[in-house]
């Protein structure tokens, strides 16, 4: 635009100046001729002749090659004879004739492209202003032909503007190129500046968007589970309270759903499969809850909760339990694997509890869930009076147990393990005993509670310490080398530091590591094999023996037997209950013993109660027996008496 503007302005200015110069030239010529006419002497050329000579001389000087603008002047007359000039261009002749016909036309300026050149032209009428001009022409053409004021011809002044216009075009192109690069540089700088500004604005927008998204996500996560998108525990409790308020404390049900064997799915198929299963279960439970204007929550891990209102679909807690079980019937497909989910369910109706509050309702549903798991899993239990009493007892045990452990009120009982072939004492298994007030609480009741409330590590180590101290004292005072077995809960392997804790007790009690046998159940070994293997391998390096307890009641994975090589395998009492009457039981028992001895393990049989059972298991190759036939678990004082009565050297 600048270059075009420059070219247009410069060309217009040039044309304007040239037009003014042409007019000035014509006026000068007229003025000069007038003066010459007035002052000429006798014998001087007539004005027309003199004018022609001047024009020819001027034209010759202005068309010099050094001149930028070539200018020519001619003065054709109407007849053209007095100046010996006649206009050759028909168009110009018509213009000159127009001056004669229309006295008002004073002059004409034009610019035209002629023969490939730009011509600037001024045509100015030549008027007879003096008597000498009229007289001279009339003398030639007849008296009365011309009068003062008549148009006798015209000045035609032409300027060749091609060269200067071309030069101005070059200048304009040069200006365009210069302006292009200047503006390009300026534009680049401005573009970079604007780019930086825009990038800064985009960054701020992205930052604000990320901040908004993060705040929304944080707000969402404050009330929802990240994996399933379900309400979390806090939001669930608030919703339960709101539902109770709306229902006036009646007709509200809570179902707690805990998936069975979920850890096994994680261990066998991977955590991605476990996550996919949780998401699928969440979707199914959500569809179920939507039919009763309810809400589903993931309380943590593999535990879910539903709050529902009694309606035509869920008329009773039993109907809730059946619907949840039905929702779990369909398998979940993951990477070509069909997973069959199972769950235990506890359902509580607010009308069946004393206090209509979220806390009490959740406690009631949790008690029903605990009863469902204890009853065999993959079923539901409804909170009732029996469960209320059981839950109250569990609550009381959970409250008393920490103090009992801290005050060393957990007693240790030892049950003998006898060499079947010789009848001599092989060692003892340490068992926990506890008396709460005047009531003896069985280990099957308080040990699961200790696991639930996180006290199993203290409990197991307390039993080991007491038993190890007792056995080490017996060996120090009597010289008897007595083996000691003790069971370690699965939770202890997940907590870390178990190896150091066991070795510290051996050091503290001075019990040789070779005397100690650590018993782990099949389920413990399989469910957390990596951690179990690391701990047991470390203990074995110090001389501790390892026993696989309750073989045949859990996973019975032969690969673990082969890979780890347990020093001892304990066969559960279920395999010998009917061993004398059932051929299939006998065959199965014999196969297990053959396999275990083939792996180099010592076979220990639990639950021997009759001599006949003892004889059969010994005949089939078992080495060690344990059961009421030899002795019930004994308090430590009774163990001292038992040992004094033994006449066989303790191996």
Phi, psi of 315 (to 5 degrees): -80, -15
Give span(s): CATH 3.20.20.450, the chain. 397-645
The chain-wide mean pLDDT, for the chain, equals 82
CA dist 192 and 205 (Å) reads 19
CA dist 53 and 75 (Å) reads 11
Per-residue pLDDT tens digits for 186-237? 888 888 888 888 888 888 888 888 777 767 666 766 778 888 888 988 899 9
Among residues 509, 522, 594, the alpha carbon closest in space to that of 557 is found at 522
Among residues 96, 160, 90, 84, the alpha carbon closest in space to that of 123 is found at 96
CA dist 401 and 436 (Å) reads 8
Q: How many CB atoms lie within 10 A of CB 579?
A: 21
Per-residue pLDDT tens digits for 540-583? 999 999 998 877 665 555 666 677 778 999 988 888 888 878 88
In sequence order, which residues have a C-beta less than 8 Å from that of residue 262 and are 6 or more positions away? 274, 277, 301, 302
| Predicted pLDDT at 606 | 92
For 381, the enclosing helix (H) or strand (E) is strand 380-382
Per-residue pLDDT tens digits for 419-477? 998 888 999 999 999 999 889 999 988 998 998 888 999 999 999 999 999 999 998 88
Of the candidate CATH numbers 3.30.420.10, 3.20.20.450, 3.40.1190.20, 3.40.50.720, the domain formed by 397-645 belongs to: 3.20.20.450
Give span(s): CATH 3.30.70.270, the chain. 233-383
In sequence order, which residues have a C-beta less than 8 Å from that of residue 497 and are 6 or more positions away? none
Confidence of residue 28 (pLDDT cuts 50, 70, 90): low
Pairing between strand 516-521 and 483-487?
A: parallel
0.75 exceeded by the pTM?
no
Sequence-ordered alpha helix ranges (H) in 413-528: 443-452, 456-478, 490-495, 498-509, 522-527
**For domain 2-167, which architecture applies?**
2-Layer Sandwich (3.30)
The 3-state secondary structure of 597-627 reads HHCCCEEEECCCCCHHHHHHHHHCCCCEECC
CA dist 515 and 318 (Å) reads 53
| Overall average pLDDT of the 515-539 stretch | 82
CB 19 within 8 A of CB 122: yes
Q: State which fold the 233-383 domain adopts.
A: Alpha-Beta Plaits (3.30.70)
Distance from the Cα of residue 624 to its chain's centroid: 58
């Amino acid at each position: 635009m600048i270059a075009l503007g420059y070219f247009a302005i410069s060309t217009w200015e040039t044309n304007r100046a040239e037009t003014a110069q042409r007019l000035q030239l014509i006026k000068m010529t007229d003025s000069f001729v007038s003066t010459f006419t007035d002052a000429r002497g006798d014998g001087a050329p007539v004005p027309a002749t003199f004018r022609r000579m001047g024009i020819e001389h001027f034209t010759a000087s202005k068309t010099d090659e050094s001149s930028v603008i070539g200018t020519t002047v001619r003065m054709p007359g109407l007849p053209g004879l007095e100046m010996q000039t006649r206009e050759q261009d028909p168009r110009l002749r018509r213009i000159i004739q127009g001056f004669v016909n229309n006295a008002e036309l004073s002059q004409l300026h034009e610019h035209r492209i002629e023969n490939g050149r730009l011509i600037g032209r001024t045509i100015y009428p030549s008027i007879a202003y003096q008597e000498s001009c009229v007289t001279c022409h009339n003398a030639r053409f007849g008296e009365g032909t011309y009068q003062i004021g008549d148009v006798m011809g015209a000045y035609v002044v032409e300027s060749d503007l091609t060269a200067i216009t071309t030069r101005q075009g070059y200048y304009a192109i040069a200006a365009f190129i210069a302006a292009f690069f200047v503006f390009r540089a300026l534009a680049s700088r401005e573009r970079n500046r604007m780019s930086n500004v825009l990038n800064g604005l985009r960054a701020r927008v992205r930052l604000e968007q990320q901040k908004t998204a993060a705040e929304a996500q944080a707000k969402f996560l404050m009330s929802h589970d990240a994996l399933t998108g379900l309400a979390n525990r806090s939001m669930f409790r608030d919703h339960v309270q709101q539902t109770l308020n709306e229902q006036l404390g009646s007709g509200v049900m809570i179902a707690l759903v805990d998936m069975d064997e979920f850890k096994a799915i994680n261990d066998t198929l991977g955590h991605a499969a476990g996550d996919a299963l949780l998401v699928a279960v969440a979707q199914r439970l959500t569809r179920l809850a939507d039919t009763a204007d309810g809400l589903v929550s993931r309380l943590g891990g593999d535990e879910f909760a539903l709050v529902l209102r009694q309606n035509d679909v869920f008329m009773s807690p039993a109907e809730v339990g059946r619907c949840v079980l039905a929702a779990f019937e369909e398998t979940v497909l993951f990477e070509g694997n069909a997973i069959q989910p199972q769950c235990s369910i506890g359902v509580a109706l607010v009308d069946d509890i004393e206090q209509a509050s979220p806390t009490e309702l959740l406690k009631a549903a949790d008690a029903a869930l605990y009863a469902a798991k204890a009853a065999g899993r993959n079923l539901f239990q409804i909170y009732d009076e029996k469960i209320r009493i059981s839950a109250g007892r569990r609550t009381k045990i959970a409250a008393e147990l920490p103090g009992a452990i801290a005050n060393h009120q957990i007693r240790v009982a030892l049950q003998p393990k006898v060499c079947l072939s010789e009848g001599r004492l092989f060692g003892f298994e340490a068992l926990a005993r506890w008396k709460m007030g005047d009531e003896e609480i069985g280990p099957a009741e308080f040990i699961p509670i200790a696991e639930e409330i996180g006290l199993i590590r203290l409990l197991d180590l307390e039993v080991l310490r007491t038993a190890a101290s007792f056995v080490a004292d017996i060996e120090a005072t009597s010289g008897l080398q007595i083996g000691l077995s003790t069971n370690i809960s699965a939770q202890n392997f997940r907590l870390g530091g178990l190896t150091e804790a066991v070795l510290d007790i051996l050091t503290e009690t001075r019990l040789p590591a070779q005397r100690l046998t650590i018993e782990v159940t099949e389920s413990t070994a399989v469910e957390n094999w990596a951690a179990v293997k690391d701990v047991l391998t470390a203990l074995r390096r110090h001389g501790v023996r390892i026993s696989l307890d309750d073989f045949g009641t859990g996973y019975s994975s032969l690969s673990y037997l082969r890979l780890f090589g347990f020093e001892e395998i304990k066969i559960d009492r279920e395999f010998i209950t009917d061993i004398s009457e059932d051929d299939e039981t006998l065959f199965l028992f014999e196969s297990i013993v053959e396999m275990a001895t083939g792996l180099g393990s010592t076979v220990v049989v639990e639950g021997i109660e009759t001599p006949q059972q003892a004889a059969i298991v010994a005949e089939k190759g078992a080495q060690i027996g344990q059961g009421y036939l030899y002795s019930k678990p004994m308090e430590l004082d009774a163990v001292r008496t038992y040992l004094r009565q033994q006449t066989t050297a303790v191996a």
